[in-house]
């Protein structure tokens, strides 16, 4: 009986230790600024409930006139408030309690019961506040967070707005391991590893405390492999003590992408036999080496970095990426053969690195975009000088134990040796184990030379004797499902810099587009490997393999991302940057399979992929179509309608032989590709011609959603013909309805020009695909998703038939299938009283509206609508306009001018009118190459009595140049141009027009036109 009592007593001694719990659920939120919202008695009864992570921008409407503009994706920003009541449990009495924020964008200010805890301007950093003195003696307190993302553009890409990453509450005793207070450094010594642990112990009590520290290292299996226990030591009152045990780990399992072995250190702080704190930290044992001649070594093995750059947003879910979706996206790139990702151009929430550690993805961890202004209202312009040291220090201390992180990156396309030297010094002080680089900063302080797009130049060599990494290359553009046989160079072909990529056919054979007329760059880029800046994927892969000095590279990018829409595509309705090998709805493009064919081992997981599809409704029969086959096999064979078109050996030593290529005369039917290894058939793929769309197929990646409002399912809809063959041009609207536990959080399709809000349960398909994102419910239960669509060719190019289809799929539990029936009517003004039962496809007029009513178990559950006629893909070759990329004046940073919509003939939403005042207009134009000559073309109007008005042009740091704007016939209708020639610098270029002693002309836009 005494023994039992002793055991219970021992358990009680360690029952509190450290507690960490999520603070994510049931916040109150409202957009706008509300004086007094930080106070406890503020009335928030009409605010909405939200869960964290939360991004209010992605929940809004795309708007051409939004202050965020093309750089940040035309989505709403502004100010938002969050409030949540915190109940104080009795077990926290006498404890230290802090609130942790993994990420808030941006300029957050946190309050407790109206008292300010602190302010953090940087939107991509984790931070915490001690709330201990504010909760003592209280049963509950009010936590309020003000988030200010008003000043725009806040970056060169979409940022999101709000508390986009997890929140936590951490309660400890007065003596505890400090936050980010453990540093693990491992070094291989023969068959063992020496592991050094630096443990910072903090005491917030007013008296010193004598304690002991126990530390135990556990292997990936969970078995203890090393232990240490200190002699008693004194932690001073309101002070710190550092304990640094060393461990010898025999025959360690090394962390690598192939074997991501995770060790754990468990730390206990004891006062006598009482456990004051228990702290665990994951780490990995591995070595890295960078060599100027031989490249990168991991665990002594020379390997090429096969990397991808990634922005934070997950398309329809914005910056508030659920853990489940984040892991799915990272696994997608790893399954493609990628072994590393670059956090371009800012840190990620902690869960990102935890996933990379666990699944085996190396990371180039990047802290800043610029060390000065790169967008009008970004961190570099507003906050860097004051906050860089704090943010850099917190970032390093937070991330340094992750084995996945192989190198630090301090910036991107930015300059300044003096500040670089200071930052590198801090990196070495806080982490002596990793090298430091940056993307195209040209700083002599960087230990690894990082270069962006210039690496792609066909004649490029390492300009230094330092180790070299391609930080942002290769750049190619692709729109899923779009094909062109004519090579597209973003800035034109430049001999000696760009790879000469032959056209696939003498004349273009694909004649469909998003509109009937557009500029050269405002196109749907080709899914062949022929749409680029300087180099294509295959040639750059060959260059990488042949260049020992080239450690590898990080392609721009893994996924399409919102924002930066003006840079290439010219802005609205383009809302994103389509450089990804995966679109923003997580649908892989053909380039995904190209990388998979080059980066994976066919002997382990053979694959073969055919492009293009085999549905060409307007193409003349017999037209020779370039058919490409991507495969990681030795040999590929192609068939068309059963006819053997021959086999081809794949040769990775020649870029134009890395895939199979045939010219196949077009005829409807099927094409089949087979992959062979050592003469044995190991894989195949068949693509068949589809007739008009008539059905939908519904699939999900998760049919067992777990309760708790954290799990997610992606439900993808494919449009097919009546026989189930994928219809690759499908653009009919898909309607979703969820029955049971859960919520439809967003919908998307990957379209670069779809400007509908994602916060709705229907979506127009793009190139045959659409997707719904479903979050699990608070409680467990059955969940069934229903999808419905009115199908047919929008422009009726081969068929005037309309069909209606309904599909359903289980997302959790075992729900009974719904008995569905459909009624329909034709006509814009038709109502349900005009409806008749649907049985089979029916003919529709050339231009019309079709409506459908979907019943499930006798109850009306969905109303659908589809238009036919003059909308959708244009089935002709678009007329190319000879103009460049536009930067609207109203989206610039301006002073002294006012926005106006009077008159006509301008583009965008309006223009800037100085209206008798003086002032300035400033644009920021980014380029990844540098040195290219362009015309800066200013579009203006104004009828001055003196026949002209002078303005100053300030280009980067150059001296001002006077420009004489000749009068036009009218201030508001007669728009003319004036142009000047300039060479763009690498990275951000500041272009400023300033009045010169009098008011300026009305300015519509800046056009940047490549000189060909």
Phi, psi of 643 (to 5 degrees): -85, 130
Q: Is residue 519 a contact partner of residue 570, using CB atoms and an 8 Å limit?
A: yes
Two domains, one topology: 175-283 and 625-681 = yes
pLDDT at 1012: 67
Task: Indicate the DSSP class of residue 162.
Answer: B
DSSP string of 905-930? S--TT-EEE-TT---EEEEEEEESS-
What's the angle, vertex CA 50, arms to CA 48 and CA 54, rounded to 5?
130
Closest CA to 698 of 738, 669, 729: 738
Q: How far apart are CA 239 and CA 204, in angstroms?
A: 7
CATH among 3.40.50.1820, 3.40.50.2300, 2.60.40.10, 2.60.120.10 for 695-868: 2.60.40.10
- What is the C-alpha radius of gyration for the chain, rounded to an integer number of angstroms? 30
What was the pLDDT predicted at 8? 34
CA angle 108, 111, 117 (to 5 degrees): 80
DSSP 556: B
Nearest C-alpha neighbor of 103 from the set 278, 353, 280, 386: 353
Q: Which residues are 362's β-sheet partners?
A: 340
Q: Which CATH superfamily groups domain 17-172?
A: Galactose-binding domain-like (2.60.120.260)
Domain parsing of the chain, residue ranges: 17-172, 175-283, 288-599, 625-681, 695-868, 883-1010
The two structure tokens encoding residue 324: 């489940």
Rounded to an integer, what distance in angstroms lies between the CA atom of residue 330 and that of residue 328?
A: 6
> Is residue 81 within 8 Å of residue 100, measured between CB atoms?
no
- The tokens for 726 are 């994928």
Q: Is 413 a catalytic residue?
A: yes
> Which are the contacts of 892, defined by CB distance < 8 A and separation ≥ 6?
376, 912, 921, 922, 923, 1006
Fold of 175-283: Immunoglobulin-like (2.60.40)
Considering only CA atoms, which of 686, 624, 628 is closest in space to residue 657? 628
Q: What is the DSSP letter of 706?
A: P
DSSP string, 987-1012: EEEEEEEEE-SSPPPEEEEEEEEE--
Q: Is residue 594 classed as helix, strand or coil in its secondary structure? A: helix
Helix (H) or strand (E) holding 844: none
Report how far residue 922's alpha carbon sits from residue 994's, in angstroms, rounded to the nearest whole number: 8
Active-site entry in 281, 366, 413, 888: 413
Helix, strand or coil for residue 327?
A: helix
Q: What is the pTM of this model?
A: 0.93
Please report, to the nearest 10 degrees, the dihedral formed by the alpha carbons of residues 897, 898, 899, 905 taken in order. Answer: -60
Alpha carbons 56 and 34: distance in angstroms, whole number: 16
pLDDT at 496: 81
Q: Give the CATH architecture of domain 288-599.
A: Alpha-Beta Barrel (3.20)
Q: Indicate the CATH number of 883-1010 among 3.40.50.620, 1.10.238.10, 3.30.70.100, 2.60.120.260.
A: 2.60.120.260
Residues of the chain with pLDDT under 50: 1-15
Dihedral sign, Cα of residue 618, residue 622, residue 624, residue 630: positive
Q: CB neighbours (10 Å) of residue 68?
A: 27
| Total length of the chain | 1012
Domain 625-681 has CATH 2.60.40.60: no
Neighbours of 100 (CB within 10 A): 17
* Closest to 196 (Cα-Cα) out of 253, 140, 244: 244
Which pLDDT score is estimated for 15? 46
Range 293-298, long-range pairs (CB < 8 A, 24+ positions)? 293/548, 293/549, 294/548, 294/549, 295/467, 295/468, 295/548, 295/549, 295/550, 295/551, 295/552, 296/406, 296/467, 296/469, 296/551, 296/552, 298/256, 298/362, 298/406
Residue 726: φ, ψ to 5°: -60, 130
């Amino acid at each position: 009986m005494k023994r039992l009592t002793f055991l219970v007593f021992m358990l009680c001694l360690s029952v509190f230790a450290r507690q960490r719990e999520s603070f994510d659920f049931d916040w109150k939120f409202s957009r706008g600024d509300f004086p007094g919202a930080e106070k406890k008695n503020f009335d928030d009864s009409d605010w909405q409930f939200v869960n964290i992570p939360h991004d209010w921008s992605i929940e809004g409407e795309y708007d051409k006139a939004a202050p965020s503009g093309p750089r940040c994706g035309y989505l709403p920003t502004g100010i938002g408030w969050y409030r949540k009541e915190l109940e104080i449990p009795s077990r926290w009495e006498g404890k230290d309690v802090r609130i942790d924020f993994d990420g808030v964008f941006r300029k957050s200010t946190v309050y407790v019961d109206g008292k300010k805890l602190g302010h953090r301007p940087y939107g991509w950093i984790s931070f915490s506040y001690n709330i201990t003195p504010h909760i003592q003696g209280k049963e509950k307190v009010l936590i309020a967070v003000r988030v200010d993302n008003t000043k725009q553009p806040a970056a060169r890409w979409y940022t999101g707005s709000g508390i986009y990453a997890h929140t936590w509450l951490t309660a400890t005793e007065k003596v505890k391991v400090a936050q980010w207070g453990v540093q693990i450094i491992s070094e291989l010594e023969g068959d063992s590893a020496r592991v050094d642990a630096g443990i910072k112990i903090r005491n917030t009590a007013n008296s010193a405390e004598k304690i002991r520290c126990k530390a135990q290292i556990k292997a990936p299996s969970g078995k203890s492999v090393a232990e240490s226990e200190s002699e008693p030591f004194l932690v001073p009152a309101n002070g710190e003590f550092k304990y640094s045990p060393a461990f010898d780990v025999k025959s360690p399992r090394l962390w690598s992408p192939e074997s991501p072995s995770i060790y754990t250190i468990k730390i206990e702080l004891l006062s006598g036999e009482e456990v004051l704190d228990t702290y665990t930290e994951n780490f990995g044992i591995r070595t890295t080496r960078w060599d100027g001649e031989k490249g990168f070594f991991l665990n002594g093995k020379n390997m090429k970095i096969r990397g991808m750059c990634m922005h934070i947003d997950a398309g329809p879910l914005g910056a508030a990426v659920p853990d489940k979706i984040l892991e799915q996206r990272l696994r997608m790139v790893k399954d493609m053969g990628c072994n590393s990702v670059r956090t371009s151009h800012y840190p990620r929430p902690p869960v990102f690195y935890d996933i990379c550690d666990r699944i085996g993805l190396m990371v180039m961890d990047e802290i800043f975009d610029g060390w000065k202004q790169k967008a009008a209202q970004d961190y570099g312009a507003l906050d860097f000088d004051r906050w860089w040291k704090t943010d850099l220090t917190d970032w390093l201390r937070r991330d340094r134990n992750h084995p996945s992180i192989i190198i630090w990156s301090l910036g991107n396309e930015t300059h300044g040796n003096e500040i670089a030297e200071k930052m590198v010094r801090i990196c070495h002080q806080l982490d002596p184990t990793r090298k430091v680089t940056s993307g195209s900063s040209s700083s002599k302080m960087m230990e690894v030379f990082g270069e962006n797009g210039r690496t792609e130049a066909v004649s490029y060599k390492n300009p230094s004797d330092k180790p070299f990494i391609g930080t942002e290359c290769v750049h190619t553009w692709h729109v899923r499902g779009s094909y062109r046989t004519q090579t597209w160079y973003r800035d034109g072909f430049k001999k000696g810099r760009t790879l000469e990529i032959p056209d696939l056919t003498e004349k273009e054979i694909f004649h469909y587009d998003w509109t009937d007329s557009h500029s050269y760059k405002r196109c749907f880029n080709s899914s062949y490997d022929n749409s680029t800046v300087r180099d294509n994927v295959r040639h750059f892969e060959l260059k990488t393999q042949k260049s020992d000095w080239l450690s590898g590279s990080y392609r721009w990018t893994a996924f399409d991302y919102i924002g930066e829409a003006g840079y290439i595509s010219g802005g609205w309705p383009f809302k994103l940057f389509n450089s990804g090998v995966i679109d923003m709805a997580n649908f892989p493009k053909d380039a995904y399979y190209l990388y998979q064919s080059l980066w994976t081992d066919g002997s382990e997981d053979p694959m073969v992929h055919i492009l293009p599809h085999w549905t060409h409704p307007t193409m003349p029969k017999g037209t020779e179509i370039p058919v490409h086959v991507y495969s990681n096999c030795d040999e590929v064979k192609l068939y068309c309608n059963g006819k053997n078109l021959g086999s081809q050996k794949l040769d990775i030593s020649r870029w134009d032989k890395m895939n199979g290529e045939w010219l196949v005369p077009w005829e409807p039917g099927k094409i089949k590709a087979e992959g062979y290894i050592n003469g044995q058939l190991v894989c195949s793929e068949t693509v068949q011609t589809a007739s008009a769309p008539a059905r939908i197929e519904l699939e999900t990646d998760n049919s067992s959603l777990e309760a708790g409002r954290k799990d997610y399912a992606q439900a993808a809809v494919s449009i097919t013909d009546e026989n189930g063959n994928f219809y690759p041009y499908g653009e009919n609207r898909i309607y979703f309805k969820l029955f049971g536990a859960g919520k439809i959080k967003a919908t998307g399709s990957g379209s670069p020009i779809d400007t509908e809000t994602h916060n709705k349960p229907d979506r127009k398909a793009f190139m045959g695909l659409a997707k719904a994102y479903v979050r699990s419910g608070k409680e467990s239960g059955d969940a069934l998703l229903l999808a419905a669509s009115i199908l047919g060719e929008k422009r009726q190019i081969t068929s005037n038939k309309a069909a209606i289809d309904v599909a359903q799929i289980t997302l959790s539990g075992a729900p009974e299938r719904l008995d569905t029936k459909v009624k329909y009517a034709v006509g814009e003004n038709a109502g349900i009283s005009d409806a008749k039962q649907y049985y089979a496809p029916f003919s529709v007029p050339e231009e019309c509206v079709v409506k459908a009513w979907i019943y499930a178990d006798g109850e009306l559950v969905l109303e659908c609508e589809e238009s036919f006629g003059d909308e959708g893909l244009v089935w002709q070759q678009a007329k190319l306009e000879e103009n460049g990329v536009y930067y609207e004046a109203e989206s610039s940073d301006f002073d002294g001018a006012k926005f106006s919509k009077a008159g006509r003939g301008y583009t965008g939403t309006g223009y800037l009118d100085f209206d008798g005042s003086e002032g300035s207009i400033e644009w920021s134009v980014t380029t990844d190459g540098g040195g290219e000559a362009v015309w800066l073309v200013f579009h203006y109007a104004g009828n001055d009595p003196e026949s002209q008005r002078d303005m100053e042009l300030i280009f980067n740091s150059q001296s001002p140049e006077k420009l004489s704007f000749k009068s036009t016939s009218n201030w508001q209708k007669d728009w003319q141009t004036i142009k000047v020639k300039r060479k763009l610098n690498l990275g951000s270029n500041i272009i400023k027009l300033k009045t010169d002693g009098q008011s300026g002309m009305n300015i519509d836009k800046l056009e940047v036109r490549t000189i060909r």
